[in-house]
Structure 1
């Protein structure tokens, strides 16, 4: 799996040209969507099949500043998956130095169009198998 690459834009920074902390959460989402596509299950396909996966919690540990013009790679990896809930871990790494600037986790559940919990193992085995494949990687 290749990590997601992002070049820091000016609008993502504050007056000191340091990335505002809220943007890391957006980068996590961008990396997660890219990761799912690499696993072979684009998020939009899940939605077309009536499955949504809202974020139920998010954590970020900011280790170093990222600045305007830097390029980072965001590595996403499935940490936990049980068919009903999913945890993805992230590392935001400076492309040029290899230093980790942020680590984070997002936790998700799976719901149907009516907002009721879904067991992917029972209702969407193809997605269940893909997440298991990602967990083992």
Structure 2
């Protein structure tokens, strides 16, 4: 299993009136981790878009365990939780400086034609991605 670890230092703008990271920012962080993992595997979303393919989120599931606050430094761990040739589920875990899990979750994605939004087989249309995802999935 290949994993990308993304360092995040919480910015003031990411916090809410209670002084903790607003839940919407965790989704942004997941995207950072996902693009970091994809880059680590040797690919980019730009390559997808240039080929007329996009990869929308079809589901996201996040569980918040411990608050993260302004100035905290956390590590976002991202990996391929499940892959079936069409659908990809990425896993995420956010760990604070004390080694405690602050949040965890998954996001599900499919590749679709950019114009028609019809689902595409990763196995068929992106064979290099398919091989890498098969190799590195959990």
Shorter-chain TM-score: what band? Answer: over 0.9
Counterpart selection for 1:72 from 71, 74, 78: 74
Range that drifts further, 61-70 or 14-23: 14-23
Is 1:115 paired with 2:117?
yes
1:47 and 1:40 mapped to 2: Cα distance? 15
**Alpha carbons of structure 1 residues 82 and 2: separation in structure 2 relative to 1, 3 Å:** closer
Counterpart selection for 1:26 from 5, 28, 32: 28
Tell me the equivalent position of 1:6.
Answer: 8
Range that drifts further, 1-10 or 77-86: 1-10
Tell me the equivalent position of 2:61.
Answer: 59
Please report how far the alpha carbon of residue 59 of structure 1 lies from its aligned counterpart in structure 2 after TM superposition: 0.6
* Contact 1:84–1:109 under 8 Å retained in 2: yes
**Alpha carbons of structure 1 residues 31 and 44: separation in structure 2 relative to 1, 3 Å:** same
Name whichever structure is richer in strand by fraction: 2
* Contact 2:4–2:79 under 8 Å retained in 1: no
1:123 and 1:24 mapped to 2: Cα distance? 30
Please report how far the alpha carbon of residue 22 of structure 1 lies from its aligned counterpart in structure 2 after TM superposition: 1.0
Gaps of 5+ in 1: none
Tell me the equivalent position of 1:16.
Answer: 18
Please report how far the alpha carbon of residue 69 of structure 1 lies from its aligned counterpart in structure 2 after TM superposition: 0.2
RMSD: 1.1
Tell me the equivalent position of 2:107.
Answer: 106
1:62 and 1:134 mapped to 2: Cα distance? 26
Please report how far the alpha carbon of residue 2 of structure 1 lies from its aligned counterpart in structure 2 after TM superposition: 4.0
